[in-house]
Amino acid sequence: MYRMAMFLRNFSYAFVYLTLFALAGCEPGGDSSDRAASDTAEDDKTEVVQPDEASEHNEQLVQAIAALQEFDAACERVEAIWPVTLCGELVLVHPQTRLAVANRLDPAGIFKAQDGVFLGEWPADMGVANTGFEWDGEKWAMAMLPLSDDRFSRLMLLAHESFHRIQPALGHTIADPMARHLDEEAGRVWLRLELRALAKALIAEGEEAREAVTDALLFRQVRHDFYPDAVAVERQLEAHEGLAEYTGARFALDATGADRSAVAERVARFENRPTYVRALGYGTGPALGLLLDDYTPGWREDLGTSPDLIALLTGALNAGETDSDAADRLERAERRAVDYAGDDIRTEEAERAERLAAERSRYRMELVDGAVLIIDTPGFRLMFNPNTVLSLGEEGDVYPGAILMGPWGRLTLEEGAALAPPERNRARVMAPEDLQPDADGNVYGPGWTLELNSGWRLMPGPRDGDVRLLERDGQE
C-alpha cells in the first residue's frame, strides 16, 4: 500500500498545487480515450515509488479533484437535460496506479474523505473503463484518468458516463449490438456522407441547414436500402451510446458557452475512426440530438423504452421516403453526394476494402482455422476498444488489444486480438506453445499474457493444438 500512502502523505502539497492551478487559470488533465484499459495490479510489497513518480501521482490527484469539483459545479448550474439528474455518484480511476477519486463515499465506506472528495485504491478485481456500472448495488459512473486538458472534452466525457449511470432509471432498453454492415464498403460510404451532412447541418442556418439534414436522412435511407436489417441495429446503437454522447455534448455546450462548431468538428472527426461497427452512436448521436432540439423541442420528454432518434427527426422534418423505389432514391442521393466530395470517399473506401480483405483473411487463419485457446467459462468479461472492432460475419467479431477477465484470471492482449460471438460470452485467442504457468502463475501466448488464478489449468482442447481453460477438479 506504499503507493497509496504516498498519495495521502503528499496530499497537502497536492492541494497547494491545485490552488496554484486555479489561480493560473489552467485546466489540468490529460488525454482521454474510449478504450477500456488494462487493470494490472501493482506490487506494493516490492516497488519503491521514486520522487518523479510521487510527483506524477500528486498531479493525477490534483487533476481528479479539480475535474470532480468542476463537474459537480457545472451539474448544479446547467439546465436539466433528463428527468433524472446527471448529478450523482462518479469515480475517476487511473488504470495503472489504481488511484481512485470519488465525489461520493464508496459503498464499502473505506475511501478516505479529503476536502470534499474521497480517495482510495481501486480494487484489483474490478475493471477500469469509461462506463456506467453497478458497485455493490449502487449505480455509479466511471471515467479513466488522465482526463483531457480541454474543458469541453472533459465535461462531455463525464456527462456521457453519468448518462449511462441514469440510463436504467430512464427506462430505456439497453442493447449493444454490432453494426457489421458498417465494415462493408457501401455501408461506410453512405455513413460518411451522412456524417458530413450532419456536421454541415449543425453549423448552417435556415434553409441551408434543413437541406443538409434532408441530405443526411436521404443518405441513411440509401444505406438501409443496401442493408435492410441494419435499421434496428443502428437504432439500438444510437439509443445507447448516441444518447449518451448527445447528453455529453449538450451538457458541455451549456456549461462552457461554446458554440455548436465544437460538436460539428467532433462529428466530422468521427469519420477518421478505423471502424464504426460498435461506435456509430458516438458519431451520429450528438448531431441527431442537437438537431432534434432545433426542430422538435421537448423530444426528450417521452422517448419510451426504445428511443428512435432518426424516426423522430424524419417526422419533425416531414422527410419521409419521397421516392417510390430504391433506384430513384439512389439516383437522387448520388447527385447530392457531389456536394460532400462523394468521389473522394468512394476512392478511399475502395482502398480500405482491399486492406480489410487481407486483414480478415489473416484473422480467419489465426482465430478460426488455426490452433486457439478457448475461453468459455462462466462470469467471462471482455473489455475492448469500440473503435477497433472488426467483423468476421457469422464467425464473430475481432477485438484487437482486448482484455479478458473471469474467475480464472486475466488475459491481456498486448498484440493480436480475440474473436468473440455477438453475445461476447466466450472468446478465442491464438494458442500458446507452453501450457504450464511460470513461477508467478503467468502463461504467455502469441502477443498475450494470462495471469492464471490458482485452481485453474490449461488443457488440450477439442482440435489438435487447441487449448481450454478448466478448473482443476473439472472434467476434460
Furthest-apart CA atoms within the chain: distance in Å: 72
73 inside domain: yes
Q: pLDDT at residue 4 above 50?
A: no
C-alpha cell at 415: 498484440
Full strand arrangement of the beta sheet holding 138-144:
112-114, 117-121, 99-102, 90-93, 138-144, 131-135
Average pLDDT over residues 285-296: 97
Q: pLDDT at residue 1 above 60?
A: no
Q: pLDDT at residue 28 above 50?
A: no
Average pLDDT over residues 191-206: 98
Q: How far is CA 236 from CA 239, 300, 381, 388, in A?
A: 5, 16, 21, 19
Domain extent at residue 19: 2-170
Q: CB under 8 Å to 157, separation ≥6 — which residues?
A: 32, 130, 143, 147, 148, 248
Task: State whether 334 and 429 are in the same domain.
Answer: no
Q: pLDDT at residue 400 above 50?
A: yes
Task: State whether 316 and 218 are in the same domain.
Answer: yes
Q: pLDDT at residue 378 above 90?
A: no
C-alpha cell at 163: 448518462
pLDDT for res 322: 52
pLDDT for res 58: 83
Picking from 114, 140, 170, the residue at the C-terminal end of a domain is 170
pLDDT for res 387: 83
Task: State whether 300 and 367 are in the same domain.
Answer: no
Average pLDDT over residues 183-188: 96
- Compute the residue count for the chain: 476
C-alpha cell at 369: 482455422
Closest to 375 (Cα-Cα) out of 415, 425, 435, 432: 425
Task: Transcribe 104-131 into DSSP letters.
Answer: S--TTS-SEEETTEEEEE--TTS-B-SE
State how far the Cα of 212 lies from the Cα of 198, in Å rounded to an integer. 7
Instruction: Find residue 90's DSSP bridge partners.
Output: 141
Task: Transcribe 260-314 into DSSP letters.
Answer: THHHHHHHHHHTTSS--TTTHHHHHHHHHHHHHHHHSTTGGG---SS--HHHHHH
Task: State whether 324 and 404 are in the same domain.
Answer: no
253 inside domain: yes
pLDDT for res 323: 54
152 inside domain: yes
Under the banding of pLDDT at 50, 70 and 90, the label for residue 124 is: confident
pLDDT for res 324: 66
351 inside domain: no
Task: State whether 248 and 280 are in the same domain.
Answer: yes
pLDDT above 90 coverage of the chain, percent: 73
Q: pLDDT at residue 320 above 90?
A: no
Give the mean pLDDT of the chain: 87
State how far the Cα of 389 lies from the Cα of 278, in Å rounded to an integer. 7
Task: State whether 155 and 197 are in the same domain.
Answer: no
Q: pLDDT at residue 475 above 80?
A: no
Average pLDDT over residues 269-284: 94
Average pLDDT over residues 446-451: 96
> pTM here?
0.80
Least confident of 133-137, 240-244, 423-427, 464-468: 423-427
Residues 141, 91: contact at Cβ < 8 Å? yes
Q: Does 101 or 9 have the greater pLDDT score?
A: 101
Question: Over the stretch 45-62, which tens digit does the pLDDT of each residue have?
Answer: 223 334 455 666 788 899
State how far the Cα of 101 lies from the Cα of 95, in Å rounded to an integer. 12
Under the banding of pLDDT at 50, 70 and 90, the label for residue 472 is: confident
Task: State whether 161 and 106 are in the same domain.
Answer: yes
Q: Does 302 or 252 have the greater pLDDT score?
A: 252
State how far the Cα of 369 lies from the Cα of 372, in Å rounded to an integer. 9
423 inside domain: yes
Task: State whether 264 and 299 are in the same domain.
Answer: yes
188 inside domain: yes
Picking from 143, 170, 197, the residue at the C-terminal end of a domain is 170
Task: State whether 438 and 405 are in the same domain.
Answer: yes
Q: pLDDT at residue 285 above 90?
A: yes
Question: Over the stretch 74-110, which tens digit does the pLDDT of each residue have?
Answer: 999 999 999 999 999 999 999 989 999 999 999 999 9
pLDDT for res 19: 26
For residue 307, the number of C-alpha atoms closer than 13 Å in the C-beta half-sphere is: 26
76 inside domain: yes
Question: Over the stretch 217-238, which tens digit does the pLDDT of each residue have?
Answer: 999 999 999 999 999 999 999 9
Average pLDDT over residues 421-450: 93
pLDDT for res 385: 87
Task: State whether 319 and 220 are in the same domain.
Answer: yes
Picking from 106, 140, 170, the residue at the C-terminal end of a domain is 170
Task: State whether 378 and 406 are in the same domain.
Answer: yes
Residues 207, 250: contact at Cβ < 8 Å? no
Question: Over the stretch 135-163, which tens digit does the pLDDT of each residue have?
Answer: 999 999 999 999 999 999 999 999 999 99
Task: State whether 247 and 376 are in the same domain.
Answer: no
Residues 263, 282: contact at Cβ < 8 Å? no
- Count of domains for the chain: 3
